[in-house]
Structure 1
Amino acid sequence: MKHVKAQPDHKMLEWSSKFEALADNAVNSRLRQFYQAGAVSAQASIDSVQLLAMDVETTGLDAQADSVVSIGVMPFTLQRIYCGNSLYWVIKPASELNEKSVTFHHITHAEISDAPTFEQVLTPLLEAMAGKVMVVHYRNIERAFLDQAVRRHLGEGLEFPVIDTMQLEARLHRQKRGWFARLMGRSQPSIRLADSRARLGLPAYHAHHALTDALATAELLQAQVATYYSASTPVGELWN
């Protein structure tokens, strides 16, 4: 039984035309090439598109002041996850590691001493992203930090559509709670990655490793679509 209501057609974001404009306006050749690869139509069914799960670990939560310290990407479709084509980078951050961030992602000063800079991994990252729909759990991290990192190195930002599995969970539970639960002040269930996976019967993974979290996010979207949507759902109803 499907629980999540589709968004009306007029709310669908059509990224294909936006990418054409971004390609025309991009100054840097790498960004221009990324946008020229195009974006899928908002009307395309989710089972027909190439997806790329992504997770970014950072030195903090402020995209303006903090930096990317690792990136993991995992290509997949609704039918299959291509673990053999995954990519993972530890990156020398532009800002200092701090004790709190190290306790989360366990990346130490020794690991970043010989790590590449963000600029050095940008080309293969953009190549991996080109033509695919990004899938993340909490888009405010991945999209904001990548945009800021690209701005620091290239002088212009990076825009791309994302399916946010956290937002899909929030949408589901907001609808399921109903007006009476909201009136009574009942709290919403946790929509963190591990808790969202557990509700759908997915196994627990060690958190805060970029590649593992990318895999966890890919599996979560597959389960969400199978449980709450359908394979024919237009991608425009899911992305931002």
Structure 2
Amino acid sequence: MFDWFRLKHWFSYRATLPDAWQQQRLFEAPLLAIDLELTSLNPEQSKITSIGWLEGQNGSINLESAYYRVVRVKGDLQQSPVIHGLTPEHTELGEHVRDSLNALSQFARSHIWVFHNASLDVRVLNRAFAANNLQVEQVVTLDTLKLAMYQLKKTHELLPSNSMTLANCRQRMGLPAVPAHNALDDAMATLQLWFAQFHQLAGRNSITIDAILHTRCINVVNLGKKCKRGIDKVS
């Protein structure tokens, strides 16, 4: 039976992409790869302990754009000292998260924000923006995890355990192992993964953003307040 609901959802999903981005060539699009180190994987409770990002475009990474900050955190760091090496002594000397959010806001309309597991990081950012009375609208995000899932499902009915980690996604693309659990290192690793995925997915520089909406790796989000009708909710 033809699934009209799924077709309707597909068309509504395409319609959410801002006009300015619909015919933007992916290869030429300004990118901002972002990674957060968190106290937990619960997006409703997790706190940001560090944030890192850097810009990329035309298959190149702009190392001069690298940004890394440890964020001041109160309360239990949970597993962060073990996983990320950030102790209470580090985070007590960190800057207020608002400073990083203000800096990040400058890229809201000009860049596509690239994450590995955007569903987690975007939810945490949404809470942080709201808690600091900040907001940005119609941010276009690209999730390398969702794209990796789309690609792997072509050959696997069931996805192997841990197949979606950043390290394993990079390994499948033939990328070298890199240090993990540092926000800036992971942001760079994510951007490198996207470049490899783009080459495998498209292989040509003329492909536009709207041409890959079917992979569900592209989303449009509002951060820091309730979303308006017609714009995707944070997901």
- TM-score under structure 2 normalisation? 0.78
In the alignment of these two chains, the number of paired residues is 204
Aligned AA (2:177): A
Measured in 2, the distance between the counterparts of 1:112 and 1:198 equals 32
**Greater fraction strand:** 2
> Sequence identity of aligned pairs in percent?
24
3-state secondary structure, aligned to 1:140 = helix
Aligned to 2:45: 65
Report whether the alignment pairs 1:108 with 2:110: no
The one-letter code sitting in structure 1 at the alignment partner of 2:186 is D
Write the distance in 2 (CA, Å) between the matches of 1:214 and 1:164: 12
Give the aligned CA root-mean-square deviation in angstroms. 2.3
In structure 2, the gaps of 5 or more residues are: 1-8, 220-235
Letter in 2 for 1:12: R
**Structure 1 residues 78 and 195, CA gap change in structure 2 (3 angstroms):** farther
Structure 2 partner of 1:173? 152
1:42 has 2:15 as partner: no
Gaps of 5+ in 1: 1-7, 18-39
- Is 1:160 equivalent to 2:160 in the alignment? no
Superposition deviation, residue 129 in structure 1: 4.2
Change (3 A) 1:188 1:97: closer
> Which residue of the partner structure matches residue 91 of structure 1?
71
Secondary structure of the structure 2 residue equivalent to 1:53: strand
Report the Cα offset of residue 103 of structure 1.
1.2
In structure 2, distance between residues paired with 1:132 and 1:229: 20
TM (norm. structure 1) is 0.77
Higher helix share: 1
User: Is the 2:105–2:136 Cα contact (8 Å) retained in structure 1?
Assistant: no
The change in CA–CA distance for 1:216 and 1:111 in structure 2 (over 3 A counts) is same
Q: Does 1:137 align with 2:137?
A: no
**Change in CA separation of 1:188 and 1:111 when aligned onto 2, cut-off 3 Å:** closer
